[in-house]
A and B are shown apart, each in its own frame.
Chain A
Amino acid sequence: MFQTCSEPGRTKGKAALVWAYLAASALLLAACGPSATQTPSGTQSEQPPQAQGQPQRGGAFRVMVSGYVSYGTVDAHRASFSPPVGFAGQSVNQIVKRNLNSGKYDIIPDLAESWQVSPDGLTYTFKLHKGVKFQNVPPVNGREFTSDDVEYMIKRISADPSIVLDKWKDLFTRRSDFTSVASIEKPDKYTVVVRMKQPDAVFMHNMATIGTIIVPKEMIDENPDRLIQDKIIGTGPFICKEYVPDVRQYCDRNPDYWKKDENGTQLPYLDRLEKNFYSGGDTSGAIAAFLAGQIEALAGQGGGPPSLTDADITTITKQMGDKAYLITSSGGNFGHIRINAKRPPFDNVKMRRAVYLAIDRQQIIDSTNRGGAEISALIPPALAGGGAQSVDDLLKLPGYRQPKDQDIAEAKRLVKEAGYDGATIDMNTSGSTAVIADLAALIKEQLGKAGINVNVKLTANYQDHLNEMLADKFNLTYTGHGASPDPDEYIYKHFATKGARNYYKFSDPKWDQLAEKQRAAVTDEERKKAVQEAVAYHAEVAPSVPLSATYNQFFYRSYTHGFGKPVQNVDGSAYFDVYWMDKR
């Protein structure tokens, strides 16, 4: 099933693998290269093995989840990144969610049976499933889910003072997500009507974001701080009975779960979920557990920090043979060069454009991502349905096309015209990992070819780097962040004058107009067109240099089935209800 670079003899081969892993992973990498990471955007490089027969009930699905779990919030309403979602994902539902199986991240119903948007884009009407009950756990004790719970969720995410204590409101970093909501009406228990102040194309994205989960008010009120801390109750497929931060979370099948599969069989199929956290930042325990059959899934590259190295993936691939499969999808982490458009020399558009043209993205991917990524424009290619360009289209464009001679010549000309030929410019970036340090060195080399001398200044950690950006103390910097399935993240939040993440200090009236236009678009077609306009204009004014979108990779044991594309973390999606195993 796996591609391998060689087939060593059994015992000798194993010893070689161990020693290569421990002592000479770099050599191994050079010899083997990535084995299963070459994948076109949005497609799986390895398909799960075809299961024989119908999905089967039963079994305990065990995973190891990385990260300092106890030192991130588990309150998904506060932030939509991995730890809270991993904590809550299996126990809750959303009103609508992203379809991770389609490869297009389209929005599909979950607790909503259907929804309608008025032609003017000002009214959203959600029809909810009837008879859905919360888990039969105190204090909610299996009460029915109703439209009140939807209103409560939107208000809590918005840090409404009637729900969130004043002292914690700053922690609700998503509180501006629903500022365009004018009112929420509940004509009956199963209908929610959301009226908007103005059309907001991002509203449905915010509803479908994985942190937008339905939790009962009673659970929140139970805690004097009104924060989600170590208990999660929802309408989801699993009831979590034990949570020990940094150690484990055990969840059992919800016998009253409301969803059924296409054959009318009640979901979920699995009896139990066991999540063991490896919190120390060392992956060897997780690799050993997967090899020894103690867990069913293992996050690979892009699966949340710390991810596996290429050498780890090669080792696991060879050891497991057909006992495991690897699923790869694009869009894990979006890497780009941020340019400070306010300070000289990059207040000059010619200089920004020169950097945009001179950078050889493929070389960066080959050197630092070792094939575990694909080139990206402003919006990662995996989101091509939302107006992004595909990899094939990008390769025809200036800045992306190969060979680089033409672009470098053009970049040199622009640098000369701008009057900065031979000037030295500081590049401030995080030195938190060797990969970023290597990448900075490569950028220095590439820009040198265009006549831009770069002086690399590394900070000790990412936070210092972030502080420098917040304090406007940078000219050029490399940054990677989680890819969002909605274009607004890349267009408005990062580059609009009022954008919350506009570290670039970029301010351009035409851009602001385009950013507002895509937000105000009512139909999908209108929005796609507006996004494409913005993407094209971004290449002209170059407030940043998009580089790559990394692949997400996850190993699964061959007796496990039902997995979609890994997007956040191995347990990050709320899709556990359809996972099943032929071995228990």
Chain B
Amino acid sequence: MTRFIVRRLLMLIPVLLGVSLLIFTLMRVVPTDVAAMMLGENVSTETLASLRKDLGLDKPIPLQYFEWISNVVRGDLGRSIWLPDKTVTERLLQRLPVTFELALIATSVGIISGISFGVLAAVRQDTWVDNVARAVGIIGLAAPSFWIATIVILFPAIFWGWSIPAAYVDLTENPGNHLMKIVPAALVLGFSLTATVMRYSRTTLLEVLRQDYVRTARAKGLTERVVIYRHALKNALIPVVTISGQAFARQLGGTVIIETVFNIPGVGLLMIGAITARDYNMVQGGILILALFLAFSNLVVDVLYAVLDPRIRYS
């Protein structure tokens, strides 16, 4: 196992280099000159050239990449082009906790509610409970999160004159308002995960419930509760663990839209602003850090498989 982890960690190096090269290239091929954006319309060609030189944008692109990645290797993600008073790392560290909190709540809610509804739908197969759960599941998979988010924001305001707090506040500052802002966003973010997990749980549990050993358990006179929770559910949830392992990473990606609609100042919102402003260092640093977290979370999931399922052994 140790060798496996070390090997996976070493493999992170080419992966991250690839990501860095990709995002660096993408930012450079996107049309628009950040220097022109900073200076606005009222600018001469000389001034534009001067600022481009100050920002190092006049150098050949391979050289720009080499200089940037050399600093990254030394732990320096650089400074925001627009807001040079703070480093990219400082600004990311400010925002990451918010994004992680959102993704973590969304993942937890998605998995717990998905499994619960999936089990309920399976044991009440073809009843109204099952029909409702399946219908909600289809909506969860089909409806885009920004649309659901808009409904969640506007409906209460129009019908009851109540709205999710306009302002974001830290958990330590005002826990009530913080949760009122974060939880609805997390519920929306986790809705599609709920639907996915619910459908998987329902299907696999129905399959397991038709197995011989379940029939045997029932024949032995065990209660339905014991049959389902002690015998069937454990086996039914193995595929669900696979989905859930990747869920956190998926939710991290989904925070970009949800943070934008709910106006939650996390990394997603920061990236949207940075991309719009062509803040190269901020986008490159942000994406690289997110890629690092994704790679680590995948590694953790792989390790967890071995822990949870004794049949899996890495060599």
Contacts and interface: CB of A to CB of B under 8 A. Distances in A.
B164 A288 contact: yes
A461 B265 CA distance: 25
A278 B156 contact: no
Given A79-B40, A274-B167, A281-B260, A247 B85 contact: no
B259 interface: yes
A285 B167 contact: no
B131 interface: no
Contact of B273 (A22, A62, A70, A73): A70
A294 interface: yes
A536 interface: no
Given A170-B50, A173-B42, A288-B164, A71 B260 contact: no
A246 interface: yes
B276 interface: yes
B51 interface: yes
Contacts of A72: 82
Contact of A170 (B32, B54, B162, B166): B54
Contacts of A289: 157, 163, 166
Interface stretch (A115-123, A259-267, A400-408, A464-472): A464-472
Contacts of B296: none
A410 to B, nearest CB: 33
Given A280-B272, A284-B150, A289-B166, A466 B41 contact: yes
Given A274-B167, A285-B153, A229 B85 contact: yes
A170 B259 CA distance: 34
A285 B259 CA distance: 11
A2 B43 CA distance: 44
A136 interface: no
Interface in B21-50: 31-33, 36-45, 47, 50
Contacts of A137: none
Interface string B33-77: 100111111111101001100100000000000000000000000
Contact of B154 (A71, A244, A288): A288
B166 A64 contact: yes
Q: Secondary structure of the B side of the interface?
A: helix
Contact of A247 (B33, B163, B265): B265
B154 A287 contact: yes
Contact of A278 (B32, B42, B44, B263): B263
Contacts of A583: none
Interface in B251-268: 259-263, 265
B293 interface: no
B82 A73 contact: yes
Contacts, number: 156
A165 to B, nearest CB: 11
Contacts of B128: none
B260 A280 contact: yes
A464 B83 contact: no
B219 interface: no
A461 B263 contact: no
Interface in B85-101: 85
B153 A246 contact: no
A64 B167 CA distance: 9
A282 B41 contact: no
B159 interface: yes
Interface string A5-34: 000000100100110011000000000000
A248 interface: yes
Contact of B153 (A79, A230, A247, A284): A284
A-B pairs with lowest CB-CB distance, top 10: A280-B260, A292-B163, A288-B157, A71-B277, A289-B166, A463-B32, A288-B163, A291-B157, A276-B167, A170-B51
Interface of A: 11, 14, 17-18, 21-22, 62, 64, 68, 70-73, 79, 167, 170-171, 173, 223, 225, 227, 229-230, 244-248, 274, 276-282, 284-289, 291-295, 315, 319, 459-461, 463-464, 466-467, 470, 481, 493, 500-501
Interface of B: 31-33, 36-45, 47, 50-51, 54, 82-85, 146-147, 149-151, 153-159, 161-168, 259-263, 265, 269-270, 272-274, 276-277, 279
